Structure formats: structure tokens, C-alpha cells
Amino acid sequence: MNLYTHPKTAAHNARAARLRQAAGEDGEGSVQVHLEDALEDTKAKVFAIYGKGGIGKSTTSSNLSVAFSKLGKRVLQIGCDPKHDSTFTLTKSLIPTVIDVLEQVDFHPEELQPEDFVFEGYNGVQCVEAGGPPAGTGCGGYVVGQTVKLLKEHHLLDDTDVVIFDVLGDVVCGGFASPLQHAERALVVAANDFDSIFAMNRIVAAIRAKSKNYDVRLGGVIANRSRETDQIDRFNAAIGLKRLAHIPDADEVRLSRLKKATLFEMGDSPALQAIQNEYLSLADQLWSGTEELKAEPMKDRDIFDFLGFE
């Protein structure tokens, strides 16, 4: 019997063991990032906003933050995109990111003060941009973890009622899924089209995997940039999802980004008032509490056949 194990074989076996352990925790094939600093001890309601790239997650997150603030809640919005443009309609600028300020102090977080990375936006919404490593390097999950660690170390969550994570694009890796480890509810922004619903299906699978070991649960769908919602509603009915709000495809929404303003600052026309009221209604629903949705995602080929018209 050969008792010698080649070093490369030993390394391979160790890596395989780590992969098996991760698969057991987050689902088959998972090698997701696990963060030490969760938000378990905060009393705030924590939401993570997901959706296909370019679907309007930052616009949705910012206006939802304002809606919560209009209801008298203390709100913190955390942008989780290296583009660091989640909060600019709130702050009217591209604020420094957590990674930016950490780099300035040679990554010694004890030298930072809250005012270095937390900025007040419209109607008192507190804004943080996590930022990210240079393109093609590093892990987004590490950045989210460092951001949460800083917030906790400075006790910035003690006086917060609502935390909103605005997360980039599709969840193709554990780093981008890491906000799910902190959230109570995950919301998906989708348009009434094939691409965003196809992406939503993958996001549902990621949330379902995370919910096995974390408190996060599916909260529902925000229909955005769509005149109709028939395809979203049909998909929701098939897998067990629910639409919470419908933001129409309106020019006012596009203009708000160009004017670096939230929709609550854009005037009081009937069209704008209707959208503002939709956000206020959504915030009220989320604050009151939404049911846990136990959706079952489709296989890629099944959703391909399911969506669209003959």
C-alpha cells in the first residue's frame, strides 16, 4: 500500500474538499464568498436589489430610499458596483468609495472617520459606495465585507431603520451574491422582456441557494421600464414569484438620471405623482413586511421555451 501522496495530489484533494464543503453550504458547485461580518445584530430592515445590468436598479434603489425617508425612516443606501454610480441622484456627485478611502490610508481602516465614506443625500438618505477592485482583478465580495465591517465598527447601523444594497448586474459569482448574506429580503428589478426575465430566473436560483444558510428570502419583483407586465406576471405565476410594484416606461425616469435628481425632485405632474406614489406604496409594503416567496427557478432551456410568443 502506497502511503505517499504527491504534493500536487494533496493540494488537489484539499481544494476538492473545500469545493465539496462550499457545495454543501450554498448549493451544488458553489464556491461563494463567506463573510464574517454580517448584519445580524442590527435592527434595521435590510434589502438587496438585484436585476439584469442596465435594468434600472440604481434608479429604483435611490427612489425607494427616498420613499422610505418620506415615511420617516432613517435610510442607508450602499452601492455595490465598481462604477460607484448608485447614489449620485441622491448626492448630486460621484462620492468617494470605500476602496478609494482605504487606499488613501494604506488600508488601515482604523484611521478612517465616518465622514470619509458616508455622505448625506436628498432628504437625509445616508449614502455609501463600496466601489471595487480594478477591472479583471479582486473580488466584489471582499469590498462588500469591508464596507459592512466599517459601518459596524463606527456604529453607523445603530440609528438606521432601512439598509438598501444596490448590487450590480447578474449574480455570476459569490462576490456579487455576498450582499445576500446580509439581507432580509431580496428584490428583483425586471422589465417585461426576455433578457431581464431570463436573468431574473438565475438571480432567483442564487437567492434560493443563499437562503439555505442565511436569513435572506425572496421578497418579490419590481417591474421597471415596461408599459405592460404580462410576461413578468406569467413567469411569476409559473415559479411562485409576486410583483410588488410597476414603474412604467416614462421619459421622466430617464430624465431624472440626466438631471442627477430623484423622481421626488422632478416636479408634481400627474405622471410623476403616480410614479412617486408607486414608490411610496412599495416602501410601505416592504416596511410592513412581505411574505417569504419560495420560488422554484426554471432550467435555462425550459425558460427559453416558456417565454415569448409562437
Helices (H), 185-266: 194-210, 230-239, 251-258
Task: Say if residue 55 carries a ligand binding annotation.
Answer: yes
Q: Is 52 a catalytic residue?
A: yes
SS3 134: coil
Q: Determine the Cα–Cα distance for residues 260 and 153; give it in Å rounded to an integer.
A: 31
The C-alpha cell 438587496 sits at 48
Task: Say if residue 58 carries a ligand binding annotation.
Answer: yes
Task: Say if residue 131 carries a ligand binding annotation.
Answer: no
Q: Which residues contact 159 (CB under 8 A, 6 or more apart)?
A: 74
Give the number of other Cβ atoms within 10 Å of residue 125's Cβ: 24
Task: Say if residue 56 carries a ligand binding annotation.
Answer: yes
Task: Say if residue 127 carries a ligand binding annotation.
Answer: no
Task: Say if residue 54 carries a ligand binding annotation.
Answer: yes
* Active-site pick, 45, 73, 170, 210: 170
Nearest Cα residue to 231 out of 218, 246, 253: 246
Task: Say if residue 152 carries a ligand binding annotation.
Answer: no
Torsion of the alpha carbons at 20, 24, 28 and 31, rounded to the nearest 10: -60
Q: Is 83 a catalytic residue?
A: yes
Give the number of other Cβ atoms within 10 Å of residue 287's Cβ: 16
Q: Determine the Cα–Cα distance for residues 117 and 128; give it in Å rounded to an integer.
A: 6
Task: Say if residue 196 carries a ligand binding annotation.
Answer: no
Task: Say if residue 303 carries a ligand binding annotation.
Answer: no
* Active-site pick, 45, 52, 73, 210: 52
Span between the terminal Cα atoms of the chain, in Å: 63
Backbone dihedral angles phi then psi of residue 59, each to the nearest 5 degrees? -60, -45
* Active-site pick, 57, 73, 81, 210: 57
| Buried/exposed 144-163: b ≥16 CB within 10 Å, e otherwise | bbbbbebbbebebbeebbbb
Task: Say if residue 247 carries a ligand binding annotation.
Answer: no
Task: Say if residue 232 carries a ligand binding annotation.
Answer: no
The helix (H) or strand (E) run that includes residue 218 is strand 217-224
Query: Which residues carry a binding-site annotation?
Result: 54-59, 83, 139, 173, 224-225
Query: Which residues carry a binding-site annotation for Mg(2+)?
Result: 58
Query: Which residues carry a binding-site annotation for [4Fe-4S] cluster?
Result: 139, 173
- Residues marked active site are found at 52, 57, 83, 170
Query: Which residues carry a binding-site annotation for ATP?
Result: 54-59, 83, 224-225
